[in-house]
Structure 1
Amino acid sequence: MHAAAATTSPIQVYGAWHCSDDACTWATVRDMTDFDQKNHWLVDRGDGHPSVNLVVLSFVNPLRLLDGTTDAGDTNGVPNGMTSAIVNYFTSHGIRVMLSIGGITYAGDWDTALGQNPTLLGQKAAALATQLGVGVEIDYENASSPNLTGLQSFVTAYRAAHPYDATGADPTARLTIDVAAGDRWLTGIDQYATANWLNTSNPVLDYANAMVPSKQPSSATGAESNWQEHLTGKPTYSPPIPPLAPAKFTGSLYIAEGSSVRPECTNFSTSLESSTGSWVQSAAPAGAGTTPGLLGYMFWAAEMPSTRGVTTDPPNTCQGGVGVGSSTYGVPVPMPALRQN
């Protein structure tokens, strides 16, 4: 008798990007009492347990990091608000912390930095990870002509300092990349990362995040059809985008931005993290990997992701959506060793 293969996998990654109170620049040092008042929902969903097991501080400007810029918002290339106090606020509750380098606003600065000295940029990112005890996310949103040679040099330099660690024990070894919601945007980066860095036999990056699309999908099917593109790949593209193992990516949903408070933040029962949950935990491999289910969810974004639209500040904090989801799905804190296949 053969034991039946599992048809679902538990959610392992359940995280939020964090934009501070200035639309993702982190330009000022935060008063920690104020920070806790606005962000306590992340570390306590109401029962003393965190709502998430990962927070990604967004964004570091890659060119300022390379140049070691000190200006109104940065010191030695690092946003002033990305301090050890912020990191410790989360890690003291068992929440993993990463820094995202890039974002759509800094796409051109990624190009410039990769054109100048991608190896040094990778070394500086690795040193920053060591300094703060965090991981790094690559968010390089050049859809037309990404510098993949430079990006490879960046990854190689980072991995020389912090080798891949399947156990997850070393927070600085966590290195991830953002791809589009599906396979039809950021195709160059998507193809290269899927083929070279995200295969299960010789992994280089830990996983990818399928980012939010331009607006929240109107249905579970809409979100799932985007994510399915990663599972299936695009064999007709030139070069083809290979299938991505379910265990090598997360799917993303909005919790803020826009004119109205979102159920994904405040009301789990009517949220997409509820309606997509069975699919996310059971999505079958379609040519890569052996176990079902995405790694989990990422949420865009905590506090103030945009100067316009809703935030996750009180009274619109996200215990009722993200927090209830973490309870419903039994999200482990701290994050366990991730599925590798």
Structure 2
Amino acid sequence: MRVPFGKVKTFAAAAVLAAAALAVPAAAAPAGAATGTPPQVYGAWQCSNDACTWATVRDMADFDHANHWLVDRGDGRPSVNLVVLSFVNPLTLLNGTTNSGNSAGVPVGMNQAVVDYFTSHGVRVMLSIGGITYTDDWNTALAQNPTLLGQKAAALASRLGVGIEIDYEQSASPDTAGLQAFIDAYRAAHPYDASGADPTARLTIDVAAGDRWLIALDQYATANWLTPANPVLDYANAMVPSKQPSAGSAESNWQEHITGKSNYSPAIPPLAPAKFTGGLYIAEGSQVRPECTDFSSSLQNATGTWTQNAAPAGAGTTTGLLGYMFWAAERPSTRGVTTTPPNSCEGGVGAGATAFGVPIPMAPLRQS
């Protein structure tokens, strides 16, 4: 399904994968890149081959065939410096459910072999808890025992050596008190780490593309968890809208976060550019997107000058968004394109990593 200002998260069975590799075209440097702040986070949400359920253990040879572009842009260097395995059901995690697709509350496909596949190439790994399909389960889990849920998320992070992303897409009356208890419990186990040296300390949250959806969550997170002076979460991801935006629309959405909404009650305060990433599609609809295969024609190229030079407007001191996140690697939906060969994304995402000079492994993040 598609949700206004949210990520696409349609779940079902996988289709047959295609073959052949994609050559990497030469990348043109974005205009203005030399005077801006290059992306520090340049990552992809990763959906496995079953539309984000991760309900089967992957054959790692097949996994590499489908996802090799993530760890090799064509010259041996990864295309991204972060992958976010999506999604863990929060209620299943809280209950420690074991069934055909989960073991002790965790999808069986999200295992150490997959994590090590990426980390062995210098790519950071996080797990996303939630997604639009699991919104009601977030509500139930937070109502039942948010502290225990936070403790279980922290233990999962410790076991796999990963960070955690909060993807709680409750648009009306989100349980921010429960989410605060979840975060407090997680931070009790893994305190905020400005150095970024501890992967388990990386805790982030997803917000809408702009400030006009997930309003209450956005307001609370910006005011309480994402302030440079007292950071609780590392950063936010401004998710993709209902369809791929134009460059101008993407920039307008992201500017809303930087400026805030003073006319709302309560107001959404400004968000430091260094405290969020902007989301773009690489798999959407039936056509292969240039964001996946052709950097010169891509939105990451078209918005590169803006994202690297976006100025603070009331919060933060440094220019430039934290980076980009791409929705989504492999098979995010049972319908539409995938990022598997011959549609792998070395020529779009990978060429962008070269043009932007993305640090791999990820360097310590700007704090203000």
Equivalent residue number for residue 209 of structure 2: 181
Structure 2 counterpart of 1:295: 322
CA distance in 2, matches of 1:317, 1:124: 34
* Pairs within 5 Å for 1:165-314: 165-217=193-245, 219-314=246-341
Q: Is the 8 A contact 1:7 1:292 kept in 2?
A: no
| Cα distance between partner residues in 2 of 1:61 and 1:147 | 17
Give how far 1:259 is off: 1.1
Please state if 1:96 is matched with 2:124.
Answer: yes
Amino acid at match of 2:186: Y
SS in 1 for 2:204: strand
The yes-or-no answer on 1:16 pairing with 2:16 is no
Instruction: Render the CA deviation track for 1:131-182: whole Å, top value 9, x for unaligned.
Output: 0000000000000110010000000000000000000000000000000000
Q: Which amino acid aligns with 1:311?
A: T
Asked if 1:139 corresponds to 2:167, the answer is: yes
Quick one: higher RCO (CA 8 Å, sep 6+), 1 or 2?
Answer: 2
CA offsets, 1:287-324, max 9 Å, x none?
00000000000000000000110000100000000000
- 1:49 corresponds in structure 2 to 77
Q: Distance in 2 between matches of 1:224 and 1:27?
A: 36
- Indicate conservation of the 8 Å contact 1:56/1:100, yes or no: yes
Write out the 4+ residue segments of structure 1 that deviate beyond 6 Å after TM superposition: none
Equivalent residues of 1:182, 1:227 under 8 A apart? yes
CA positional deviation for 1:10: 1.8
Question: 1:9, CA displacement in angstroms?
Answer: 1.3
Q: Which residue of 1 aligns with 2:357?
A: 330
Q: Percent identity among equivalent residues? A: 78
* TM-score normalized by the length of structure 2: 0.90
| Aligned amino acid, residue 341 of structure 2 | P
Amino acid at match of 1:281: Q
Q: Secondary structure at the match of 2:73?
A: coil
Task: Give the number of equivalent residue pairs.
Answer: 335
The answer on 1:160 being equivalent to 2:207 is no
Shift of 1:8: 2.1
Counterpart-to-counterpart distance in 2, 1:11 and 1:260: 27
1:316 pairs with 2:318:
no
Helix, strand or coil for the counterpart of 1:55?
strand
Partners of 1:232 and 1:8 lie apart in 2 by: 19
- Over the aligned positions, Cα root-mean-square deviation in angstroms equals 0.8
Deviation at 1:71, TM superposition (A): 1.0
Is this contact kept in 2: 1:27–1:72, CA < 8 A?
Answer: yes
Q: Distance in 1 between matches of 2:35 and 2:214?
A: 31
**Superposed CA offset, 1:16-54 (max 9, x none):** 000000000000000000000010000000000000000
Alpha carbons 1:257, 1:308 under 8 Å: kept: no
SS across alignment from 1:94: coil
CA separation in 2, counterparts of 1:285 and 1:8? 13
Q: Quote how far apart the aligned CAs of 1:7 are.
A: 5.7
Deviations 1:202-237 (A, max 9, x none): 0000000000000000x2111100000000000011
- Return the letter of the residue paired with 1:270: S
Matched, 1:125 2:125: no
- Amino acid of the structure 2 residue aligned with 1:135: G
- Unaligned segments of structure 1, at least 5 residues: 1-5
